[in-house]
Structure 1
Amino acid sequence: MNPKLAEFLAGCRDEAPLQLGVIPFGMIYGIAALAAGMPAWLAQAASAVLFAGASQLVIVQMLSAGAGLLPMALTASLLNVRHVLYSMSVAEYVRHLPRRWRLLLAYLLTDEAYAVAILRYQQTARPAPVHDSTGPATTSDPASAFSAPATAGEAAPDLRHWYFLGCGFTLWACWQLSTAAGIVFGATLPPEWDIDFAVPLTFIALLTMLTRERAGRAAALMAGLAALALAALPYKLGLVAAIVAGLFAGVWAAHRKPTRDEKP
């Protein structure tokens, strides 16, 4: 199989289990968008152009509540600040790619895609060539099957961005289809089918993947504590404050040097 295709399909495969939470999430957005008075075509176009699940859902909820443009823009911007950290985290792995690739991956950089792709980057180092006088160079990393064979003296090509593309494409396609399903079939769902549980479950699943490092654990702990402590604030400002607190805690933990008895 073509190495690029193999990487792409591996990304699709590893991303697929998370779609069990994305499907009802997308349907919730589609239903909420129609309930807020958005035309069906605009609700679907927002999923394709914005591709920002949590922000989309918050915007339509605020639209239903009659919120103004400035509060909606501010809330959406704060919710998406986390993507700046995602971008900083993956930048070192994709800086060698052409601009068209970086723009495409930036568009596909969402919570679920990042969670799966960054683990691939962190667990699978770029293979380095091992010179062999009897044949072409081989790689020292047994996990480098994702790369095409290298000639003597050359590093094997890094194809992990194809894995990233597979993760992002799987999520994008699922989000579009689930949004459409919510728009088309949302009105026929029985009221007792409470599918709102999918939203917190989706992020809980991501949390278990991203709290393996000290920075992730610090950000999750601080954000959780802040959300509980500030839950009584009006307009759900406690969640906004929790996001900011979690970001600061994560940055602080990332730059703090661990002590001798402390695990990284």
Structure 2
Amino acid sequence: MTVRGQKSDNWLQFKKGSVATLPLIVGAIPFGILFGTLAQQSGLSIIAAICMSFFVFAGSAQFIALGLVAAGASVPVIILTTFIVNIRHLLYSTALVPKIKHLPQSWRAVLSFGLTDETFAAVSQRYQSPDVTNAHWFYLGSVVAMWGNWQLCTWIGLALGSNIPGIESWGLEFAMVVTFIGVVVPYLSSWSMIVSVTVAGVLAILCIDLPHNSGLIVAALSGISVGLLCDNLISTHLNKGSI
């Protein structure tokens, strides 16, 4: 393949990655706007809100951080809580490491920074294809689309926050809930995944009154632990059955 042909194929994969992420971006738009709207009300300056979206780029963690900032939580509590909430990304990374370990460190750094729930859903589908030669360009296209959308929506939210009072009561956050459902449902193809999601969902409801949103931590860690245990039990049973 010529250099021009290689660049053309890379660009095509980049565009496909962006397009594949668009349906998930639709759900993230109101979520990002809501973050920008609530940022100043929670005690963040405009610059701090912009920097958080630019460098942190983690919707659920940013919202939890806002709640903790508004509640006057200490910095260590904020860091620990948001870290645990985002620990699911370790599972995403574990699944993708075999796919991108051949790439240079610079590529892996960029792709790991942009690994969101939406991008993982889009990229996982791409890596199921027999030909993954330029799949990292598809991955990059998804990252750029999601990251760019999040920055734009943060700016819009910051601009609207002072001009549209009460926007936080419009229920815009529900769009992100629907998006997460869309991300999770396609993976409910095994008993371990079904059990994991069920346990996490039930505990999230039961532990909703725990302080500092720690109920989410309990639910996430419990769901992951039970899902892994279930998967190990099923694998052991199948291995014994094959002997």
Query: Are 2:26 and 1:20 aligned?
Result: yes
Give the conservation status (yes or no) of the 8 Å contact 2:85–2:216: no
Percent identity for Structure 1 against Structure 2: 31
Match of residue 62, structure 2, among 46, 56, 71: 56
1:173 maps to a residue whose letter is: G
* Higher Cα radius of gyration: 1
Give the conservation status (yes or no) of the 8 Å contact 1:7–1:163: yes
- Which residues in structure 2 correspond to 1:199-218 (within 5 Å)? 199-218=176-195
The CA deviation at 1:213 is 4.2
What whole-Å deviation, never above 9, does each CA across 1:135-183 have from its counterpart, x for those lacking one? xxxxxxxxxxxx7xxxxxxxxxx10111111111110000000011001
The CA deviation at 1:257 is 3.3
The CA deviation at 1:214 is 4.2
Deviates more, 1:221-230 or 1:80-89: 221-230
1:25 maps to a residue whose letter is: F
Other structure's SS at 1:231 match: coil
Separation in 2, partners of 1:193, 1:233: 25
What whole-Å deviation, never above 9, does each CA across 1:17-57 have from its counterpart, x for those lacking one? 11111111111111121112211112111111111111011
Match of 2:9 in 1: 3
Match of residue 227, structure 1, among 197, 200, 204: 204
* Structure 1 residues not aligned, in runs of 5+: 127-146, 148-157
TM-score using structure 1 length: 0.80
Other structure's SS at 2:170 match: coil
Go from structure 1 to structure 2 and tell me whether the alpha carbon gap of 1:103 and 1:18 turns closer, same or farther (over 3 Å shift).
same
Query: Are 2:104 and 1:98 aligned?
Result: yes
Q: CA RMSD in A?
A: 1.9
Other structure's SS at 2:57 match: coil
What whole-Å deviation, never above 9, does each CA across 1:172-217 have from its counterpart, x for those lacking one? 0000000110011123235363313223222122122332344432
Give the conservation status (yes or no) of the 8 Å contact 1:93–1:121: yes
Go from structure 1 to structure 2 and tell me whether the alpha carbon gap of 1:118 and 1:238 turns closer, same or farther (over 3 Å shift).
same
Match of 2:150 in 1: 175
Deviates more, 1:233-242 or 1:88-97: 233-242
Go from structure 1 to structure 2 and tell me whether the alpha carbon gap of 1:234 and 1:57 turns closer, same or farther (over 3 Å shift).
closer
Separation in 1, partners of 2:126, 2:233: 25
- Which residues in structure 2 correspond to 1:14-163 (within 5 Å)? 14-122=20-128, 124-126=129-131, 158-163=133-138
- The 4+ residue runs of structure 1 with deviation greater than 6 A are none
Separation in 1, partners of 2:75, 2:39: 16
Separation in 1, partners of 2:130, 2:193: 21
Separation in 2, partners of 1:117, 1:108: 12
2:42 maps to a residue whose letter is: A
Separation in 1, partners of 2:232, 2:127: 20
The CA deviation at 1:117 is 0.5
Go from structure 1 to structure 2 and tell me whether the alpha carbon gap of 1:216 and 1:189 turns closer, same or farther (over 3 Å shift).
farther
The CA deviation at 1:254 is 3.8
Give the conservation status (yes or no) of the 8 Å contact 1:32–1:61: no
The CA deviation at 1:4 is 0.7
Number of residue pairs aligned between Structure 1 and Structure 2: 229
Please identify which structure carries the higher helix content.
2
The CA deviation at 1:252 is 2.4
